[in-house]
């Protein structure tokens, strides 16, 4: 499997990187399909934008700079053109800090803090807020570029940390999220899907929720979406749990949330380990290592088939190496051996969508963090897009 996928990748890669063909105006590639193994969504291709402020640092470097949703330069022509090229590109807005983000709208919240470094905060940050004028500007860009938006909502609002390590308990307070969705709908901003929480499932990362409580919270989200968007045709989808796969947790979540609540079962993939790992570059080129994650895809496919056949699995966030990726690796050509292999594998196991962390920001951006110039993986994605047309 990996061998075949890699061979296709090499053919595609050599088309672009061998000088004679790169100079040509048009290159046509024919892929003759015989049977189909699985079916993806028409809009499989997705990339993420994250909330990280420039003070987000890992391993003595701070690779987000001004690429976070609150400070990204939305007037960049390169950024707009990079998004437009996919027509449409799915963009998932979310990440670790989304569960500490409040929306500056409505009257259920009185204080609107800025994200600040705080050692006792989740992920080392205080709470932050999204002003509605910034949301308006983001939507202007999304409209202009025809992007398809998934918005990740704060799922911890109203809950409290239990005595038991990272477990959070209590009901989700949906008031602020509801005010935000109501504002968004009233402005006519088109949202493809709302997702609830980030990496709160199974053992979580900084915080975790029990599967049955999360299922109740997502039922509540579905009710709000149905109420605010009564037209079934344009009703945003509901996605969750946006975290790492665990069989028991995912089973319970699907059983308790019940039929037709969740439209996409989103899971996150960071199968290359920590960004600081010195062997990262070797793992990326080792097909046996790359195939290990197939087990997870297979298990998830089976659980969704059995417990949530109304939904499909989605890769909601996948950056390869975690903690912002590898400084000298994740934005370079070699990363494509992991990335393009992943795209093929993901589709084979029936995932509908693949969201690459990140469109911009960290060391794994498809675009360079400061110049916005596309990195090699951007072109890998574009080749995939063009061969699908």
Ligand X SMILES: *[C@@H]1O[C@H](CO)[C@@H](O)[C@H](O)[C@H]1NC(C)=O
| Positions in the binding site for ligand X (CB under 6 A) | 164, 167, 331, 363, 365, 368-371, 375
> Residue 218 and residue 200: Cα distance in Å, rounded?
13
Nearest CA-CA partner of 47 in 323, 378, 281: 378
For the bound state, the minimum distance from the C-beta of residue 368 to ligand X, rounded and expressed in Å, comes to 4
For the bound state, the minimum distance from the C-beta of residue 20 to ligand X, rounded and expressed in Å, comes to 26
Q: Which residue has the tokens 């935000």?
A: 180
> What is the b/e burial string over 123-133, where b = at least 16 CB atoms within 10 angstroms of the residue's CB?
bbbebbbbeee
| DSSP symbol at 35 | S
Positive or negative torsion for Cα 285, 302, 388, 146 = negative
Please, which residue, 19 or 164, has the CB nearer to ligand X?
164
Coil vs helix vs strand at 99: helix
Coil vs helix vs strand at 17: helix
Please, which residue, 92 or 331, has the CB nearer to ligand X?
331
Q: Which residue has the tokens 């969704």?
A: 304
Please, which residue, 316 or 365, has the CB nearer to ligand X?
365
Please, which residue, 241 or 365, has the CB nearer to ligand X?
365
For the bound state, the minimum distance from the C-beta of residue 352 to ligand X, rounded and expressed in Å, comes to 28
> Residue 290 and residue 343: Cα distance in Å, rounded?
12
> Residue 371 and residue 366: Cα distance in Å, rounded?
12
Please, which residue, 213 or 350, has the CB nearer to ligand X?
213
For the bound state, the minimum distance from the C-beta of residue 332 to ligand X, rounded and expressed in Å, comes to 8
Please, which residue, 208 or 352, has the CB nearer to ligand X?
208
For the bound state, the minimum distance from the C-beta of residue 126 to ligand X, rounded and expressed in Å, comes to 26
With contact defined as beta carbons under 8 Å apart, do 330 and 61 qualify?
Answer: no
* Helix ranges restricted to H, the chain: 2-17, 19-22, 77-84, 132-145, 175-186, 211-228, 247-257, 280-284, 287-291, 294-307, 335-348, 376-388
Q: Give catalytic residue positions.
A: 199, 317
With contact defined as beta carbons under 8 Å apart, do 190 and 149 qualify?
Answer: yes
For the bound state, the minimum distance from the C-beta of residue 301 to ligand X, rounded and expressed in Å, comes to 26
Q: Which residue has the tokens 């990339």?
A: 47
> Residue 311 and residue 15: Cα distance in Å, rounded?
37
């Amino acid at each position: 499997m990996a061998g075949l996928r890699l061979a296709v990748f090499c053919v595609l890669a050599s088309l672009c990187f061998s000088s004679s063909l790169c100079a040509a105006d048009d290159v046509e590639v024919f892929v003759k399909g015989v049977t189909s193994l699985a079916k993806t969504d028409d809009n499989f291709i997705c990339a993420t934008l994250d909330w990280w402020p420039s003070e987000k640092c890992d391993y003595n470097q701070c690779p987000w700079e001004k690429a976070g949703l609150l400070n990204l330069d939305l007037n960049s022509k390169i950024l707009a053109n990079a998004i437009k090229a996919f027509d449409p590109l799915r963009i998932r807005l979310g990440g670790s800090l989304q569960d500490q983000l409040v929306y500056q709208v409505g009257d259920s919240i009185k204080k609107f803090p800025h994200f600040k470094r705080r050692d006792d905060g989740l992920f080392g940050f205080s709470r932050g807020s999204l002003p509605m004028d910034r949301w308006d500007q983001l939507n202007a860009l999304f409209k202009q570029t025809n992007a398809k938006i998934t918005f990740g909502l704060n799922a911890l609002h109203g809950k409290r940390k239990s005595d038991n390590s990272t477990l959070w308990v209590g009901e989700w307070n949906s008031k602020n999220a509801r005010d935000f969705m109501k504002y968004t709908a009233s402005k006519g901003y088109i949202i493809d899907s709302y997702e609830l929480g980030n990496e709160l499932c199974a053992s979580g990362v900084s915080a975790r929720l029990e599967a049955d409580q999360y299922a109740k919270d997502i039922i509540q989200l579905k009710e709000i979406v149905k109420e605010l968007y009564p037209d079934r045709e344009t009703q945003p989808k509901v996605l969750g749990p946006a975290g790492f796969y665990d069989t028991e947790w995912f089973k319970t979540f699907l059983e308790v949330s019940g039929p037709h609540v969740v439209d996409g079962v989103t899971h996150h993939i960071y199968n290359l380990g920590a960004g600081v790992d010195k062997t990262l570059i070797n793992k990326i080129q080792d097909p046996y290592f790359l195939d290990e994650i197939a087990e997870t895809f297979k298990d998830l496919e089976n659980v969704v088939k059995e417990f949530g056949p109304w939904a499909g699995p989605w890769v909601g966030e996948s950056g390869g190496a975690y903690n912002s990726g590898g400084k000298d690796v994740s934005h370079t050509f070699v990363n494509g051996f992991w990335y393009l292999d992943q795209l093929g594998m993901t589709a084979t196991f029936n995932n509908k969508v693949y969201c690459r962390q990140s469109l911009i920001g960290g060391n794994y951006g498809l675009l360079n963090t400061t110049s916005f110039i596309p990195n090699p993986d951007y072109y890998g994605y574009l080749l995939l897009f063009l061969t699908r047309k």
